[in-house]
Amino acid sequence: MAMTLKSGSERWSRGLAGVILAIGMTAVSWAQQIPVLEKTLSNGMKLLMVERSGEPRISGGWVAHVGSSNEKPGMTGIAHLFEHMMFKGTPTLGTKDANKDREIMEQQERLREEIRVEESKLRAALRRGDVTDITSPESKSPRHRELEAQFKKLIDAQREVLVKNEFDRVYTTAGASGMNAFTSEDMTAYFITVPANKLELWMWMESERLLRPVFREFYAERDVVFEERRMRTESTPIGKFAEQFNALFWDAHPYHWPVIGWPSDIPAISKKQADEFYALYYQPQNLTLILVGDFKSAEAVPMAERYFGRIPRGSQPPPEVTTLEIPSLGEKRYYAEAETNPQVDILWRTVGFGHKDSYALEVVQQLLLGRTGRLHKGLVLGSQVATDVSAQQDSRKWAGVFNISAEVKEGHTPEEVEKTIEKELVRLQSEDVPAEELQKVKNNFAAAEYRKLSANTPILFQLIFNEGLGDWREVNTAGAKIQAVTAADVRRVMGQYFKKENRAVAVYTRKAGTGGAGEDPDLVGLSPEQKPVARQITAAIQSEKDAAGLKAQLAKIEAALATADPKKQPLQKFMIRKITARIAELEKR
């Protein structure tokens, strides 16, 4: 992530504020009514439209109702792999010679079949103890290495006919921006913003990659995903530990495995498996198109039918996730030494999206969260056993989890922090929340409603998330349900879900030999990629003399922390600590 911090007031507004935007912090908003028009195309594909004049642009996207929870053992990570493959183009996009491209891919598949035989022999040798690392070149047979060399030649031959990133270039040339995608446990989504006069281009481009996808460079891209896993999980301070803790938390549910997949599964996925997965989960009945911006629905509907209606209807509906999590009979605990500041991470099993108790749990999150929340007051300002604490209710499609995390202050222990958290939870279980405190939380939700209609892209994302989780209508109905939560509801859900046997606790202590002399201890919890950014942020914060401006930025960061990408949260927490410390310095003067 490259960025430059300016000087003076400009430095603050465009520097740190730019960093905040760059790392993707957007507050969750519940919003006033969004005027959504829903249509269904002839092949069963759903279309959601929100007309907004005033800005000549359209934010368009689509949701595939498939995520890592729809996978099965041996194929974990395949949903995320498709996020990559859907940008590889079509017979007319991404290649100079479609026929030669196809011939090379057919040759690659024949070779891969032979390589898979050798890989099976390797796994058998591993079980016997004849080899210790099946990824090591020394463990492979001469025939295996010969086949891989032949395959590499085919990859090089294919590169000669490829047109790299042509899908993106066509869009960019037409004035589009923000093309991206994401995969979660429950959905895969694709989105972009185009000029209003390029709606038909969007219709053609998106329908083409659904109607005639070409999964070229499949095995090379599979290796890219494996490297992504190494960088984001295995090379971060607690990424690999958090992955194991998550697997410990879920017993039966597919949420047990990581979205990016297990390291042994990713390199084993075949193109044949991918083709079958695509045919099952990317059929029209399992997709939802979403348009927000300057267009007319009367024109968009027939256009969508003309382009997306070409995609044949699927022959069978995708299967639902039927595995239910079994009741936890006892508390689980996970202890690990990591290159990070000591911290405590607690998970409780709760409820999924749209469950009647999810709204009370959202209120509990807000009662605990932020500088005015109970956890900050109790652990950071009161007992001063923690430097930072957060809370989040994560209502996924099939189940939910409530998470409280805290970083331990020097001179204290994770056990002290855990006991102090428990005291705050007991208060919520045994005492009614004062009317004023409860109303303040509700007012914050209500105020956020006015921000929902601020721009096309925020509206698009809210529709993507709610539709992907089960029902887009939640963007218009959830607010009223939160306003109806009572103090009795809060006590009830606290008693029902925050039981000792319903939780898992992770305790991280600093690994001996990490955080050496001369290094800011706060940097220990950051990834190698985040540390240079953190140092720039520190310099910008320390040179800032406006305490009021710092407080305003601090409030924005804290409000967005709970819903941010977990991979970005360490950097956000770092910013919170540094800004808080700088405010304290300024106010002492």
Answer yes or no: are the C-beta atoms of 62 and 190 closer than 8 Å: yes
In terms of pLDDT, which residue wins out, 533 or 393?
393
CA 505 to chain centroid: 22
From residue 159, give the alpha-carbon distance in Å to each of 84, 89, 99, 151: 17, 14, 14, 13
Whether the pLDDT of residue 29 is over 60: the answer is: no
Residues paired with 507 in a beta bridge:
335, 344
The pLDDT tens digits of the residues spanning 144-184 come to: 999 999 999 999 999 999 999 999 999 999 999 999 999 99
- The single-letter code of the amino acid at 273 is Q
Sheet containing 503-510: give its strands across: 332-338, 503-510, 343-350, 400-408, 386-395
**The predicted structure's pLDDT at residue 250:** 97
Separation between Cα atoms, residue 121 and residue 127, nearest integer Å: 10
- What is the value of pTM for the model shown? 0.82
pLDDT in tens, 305-350: 999 999 999 988 999 999 999 999 999 999 999 888 899 999 999 9
pLDDT of residue 4: 29
**Inter-CA distances, 555 with 288, 366, 549, Å:** 35, 14, 10
Domains of the chain, with CATH numbers? 37-94+163-308 (3.30.830.10), 327-514 (3.30.830.10)
Question: Residues 36-94: pLDDT tens digits?
Answer: 999 999 999 999 999 999 889 999 999 999 999 999 999 999 999 999 999 999 999 99
pLDDT of residue 322: 94
- DSSP letter at 522 equals G
Per-residue pLDDT averaged across 428-452, rounded? 88
Distance, CA of 420 to CA of 376 (rounded, Å): 11
Percent of the chain with pLDDT over 90: 71
Residue 483's Cβ-side half-sphere holds a number of Cα atoms within 13 Å equal to 15
